[in-house]
Structure 1
Amino acid sequence: PHIGGSSGAALAAVGEIISRSTLAALRGEAVANAVNLPTATLESAELARLTRVAGAAGHLLGVLSSGIPEAVIMRIHGEVVGAVAEHVFLAALSEGLQHWTTTRVTPVNARIVAEQHRIAARIVAADGRQPAPADAIDFSFEAAGDGAHVVRIRWSGGSAGIIEVDRFSLDHPLAGDMLITHHRDRPGMIGHVGMILGRHDVNIAGMQVGRHYRGGEA
């Protein structure tokens, strides 16, 4: 916002907005009033929930992709305002770039950093082969390169969560603190993971497992 408040109270209010926006940018959160970001149409609390999960998806892409990808692509399954889509994409892109580069990245400078590292950053409409439910919007994030990885999130009823990781669908959306393992499907694997976590005093609140076929990837 501009800093030309006409009174002491106005200047104080504007200063508070600028301070909150600056802190949000430094924390990598959605910045509603950034000059080089579009104005979002969601309420700030809703946008924060959505971008937080998008950031988690981007973080996961960064972990899954060992090298710098050729492109980061977000596919939208459903109807969403362009400004909201940009905020969601930049939240994911900035988190991924934190893993792929040594640059300090926030949603505000994410596209610039991606361009500097020759990473194509694109938002596209999905082709409709994997549509979202009528009351939801899905965002699929792909890190394309030598080995493509995809994380899909769903926004429905004011809440968001991760619903798919590398073609493994989840029965319930994931959000919050989580551990994701990639292994071969074989007897005893779930118990083995539980024992490791137990030795480190980590409690399991919930668990989901998935596989493509018996004895295959899980």
Structure 2
Amino acid sequence: DVGKWQRNKYVGVSLVGKTLAVLGFGKVGSEVARRAKGLGMHVIAHDPYAPADRARAIGVELVSFDEAIATADFISLHMPLTPATNKMLNDETFAKMKKGVRIVNVARGGVIDEEALVRALDAGIVAQAALDVFSEEPPKQDSKLVQHERVTVTPHLGASTMEAQEGVAIEIAEAVVGALKGELAATAVNAPMVPAEVLTELKPYVELAEKLGRLAVQLVAGGSGVKTVKVSYASSRAPDDLDTRLLRAMITKGIIEPISSVFVNLVNADYTAKQRGLRITEERILLDGSPESPLESIQVQIANVESKFASAMSESGEIKVEGRVKDGIPHLTKVGSFEVDVSLEGSIILCRQVDQPGMIGTVGSILGEEN
């Protein structure tokens, strides 16, 4: 086509008045929304963990996933690849979209079922797709998706511009200078900032805190956004003798990392929680007895959500999990109002059984047969 004057081949569509659905309303998604508003687009977004006030501030309406994909003329993807988002766009979801929708994926390749996307393109459901990411990178040269005439591809460029590279270099230099001056490095990926002796004593409790947060968030039903978390520490030590910053950071890490692509540490935990509209409160329960051990138990409650597992709900309506350290190993000791004693290692299956003889043996046999 070099040298040919083919104007008809490059006829596009106007963005003014069109509806853009931003799936994943984090830092990148919200910036895309701002720019789309400037182009005269109506912008909606889906992200169960995005603060509604942040969306309203830029004139964006938060809607359900089904509403977003059904009403959009354009769909822009900005979510992490997690078990919940893996192949989120598939044959079933493509069938719910407007005919002629256009899709941009600059998130992760696995959020789209690529074979289903080819079928949707061939069927005319998807008019065009622009892809910067793929489930296999680099994709095979004979890939039907890459070769499709209505697909524009780039080699996972991300923010690959001269200005961005210069900006990253400056940010790194400033962070190093700040650290050398003794300042907190806000972009540090591993900065415990806790005395070595305290860290050694808290180590098993740090692991317990993260695992309780991770377990609690996995009990939240998919459509529920986690906004309010209460953490209770039961200890014989006086509050001044127990620094919970690291424990709170690890609970935050356990809650946020399974549902996002953000890496959480002691430095950025509070900031990351605030950005996601997550409010974490702490309670100290002072116990009688010798304060040899720093903690007796940690309890994590998530309020105002629905649960995948009804028995995980407390009598007051929150998801509740509790644990303690036994012989240096984190143990789960309570789920909802049920007392348990399970080592928090490997995979855990939660199931509510009929109270009759033989059920434990039956469940055990099924698990054994399925290996």
Partner of 1:72: 229
Q: Is the 8 A contact 1:95 1:105 kept in 2?
A: no
1:123 to 263, 282, 293: 282
SS in 1 for 2:263: coil
Structure 2 spans left out of the alignment, 5+ residues: 1-175, 307-317
| Cα pair distance change 1:183/1:159, threshold 3 Å | closer
In the alignment, the residues of structure 2 paired with residue 53 and residue 189 of structure 1 have an alpha-carbon distance, to the nearest angstrom, of 30
Contact 2:208 2:325 in 1 (8 A): no
User: AA paired with 2:207?
Assistant: R
SS for the counterpart of 2:350 is coil
Matched residues in 2 for 1:45 and 1:159: separation? 14
Q: 1:41 to 1:77 in 2, by over 3 A?
A: farther
Q: Post-superposition shift, 1:145?
A: 1.2
- Structure number with larger C-alpha Rg: 2
Aligned to 1:190: 360
Q: Which residue in 2 is equivalent to 1:106? A: 264
What's the % identity of the aligned pairs? 16
**1:49 aligned onto 2:204:** yes
Instruction: Summarize the alignment of residues 14-163 of structure 1 with structure 2, pairs less than 5 Å apart.
Output: 22=189, 25=190, 31-33=191-193, 39-40=194-195, 42-66=197-221, 67-78=224-235, 79=237, 81=240, 84-99=243-258, 101-108=259-266, 109-126=268-285, 136-147=295-306, 148-155=318-325, 159-163=329-333
Tell me if 1:165 matches 2:165: no
Per-residue deviation at 1:106?
A: 1.2
Number of equivalent positions:
169
Distance 1:69 1:44, change over 3 A: same
CA distance in 2, matches of 1:200, 1:117: 39
- CA distance 1:74–1:132, change in 2 (3 Å): farther
SS at match of 1:152: strand
Letter in 2 for 1:77: A
**Conserved 8 A contact 2:212-2:251:** yes
Change (3 A) 1:164 1:58: same
CA-to-aligned-CA distance 1:177-200 (integer Å, 9 cap, x gap): 241313143334322321232123
* Alignment partners' CA distance in 1, 2:289 and 2:369: 40
TM-score, scaled relative to structure 2: 0.39
CA RMSD, Structure 1 to Structure 2 (Å) = 3.2
Structure 1, gaps ≥5 residues long: 5-17, 26-30, 34-38, 202-218
Contact 1:69–1:143 (Cα < 8 Å) also in 2: yes
SS of 2:243 mapped into structure 1: helix
Deviation for aligned residue 1:158? 5.1
In structure 2, relative to structure 1, the CA distance for the partners of 1:81 and 1:158 (3 Å cut) is farther
Give 3-state SS (helix, strand or coil) of 2:249's partner: helix
Provide TM-score, normalisation by structure 1: 0.63
- Asked if 1 retains the 8 angstrom alpha-carbon contact of 2:225 and 2:305, the reply is no
- 1:53 and 1:102 map into 2 onto residues whose CA distance is 21
Q: Aligned equivalents of 2:226 and 2:288: distance in 1?
A: 26
Letter of the 2:362 partner, please give it: H
Determine if the alignment matches structure 1 residue 199 to structure 2 residue 354. Answer: no
Distance 2:336 2:197 in 1: 29
SS in structure 2 at match of 1:154:
strand
- Indicate the structure whose relative CO is greater, using CA pairs within 8 Å and at least 6 residues apart: 1
Give the letter aligned to residue 151 of structure 1. Answer: V
Letter in 1 for 2:351: H
> Quick one: structure 1 residues 162 and 189, their matched pair in 2 at CA, closer, same or farther if it must change by over 3 Å?
same
Q: CA deviation at 1:157?
A: 6.6
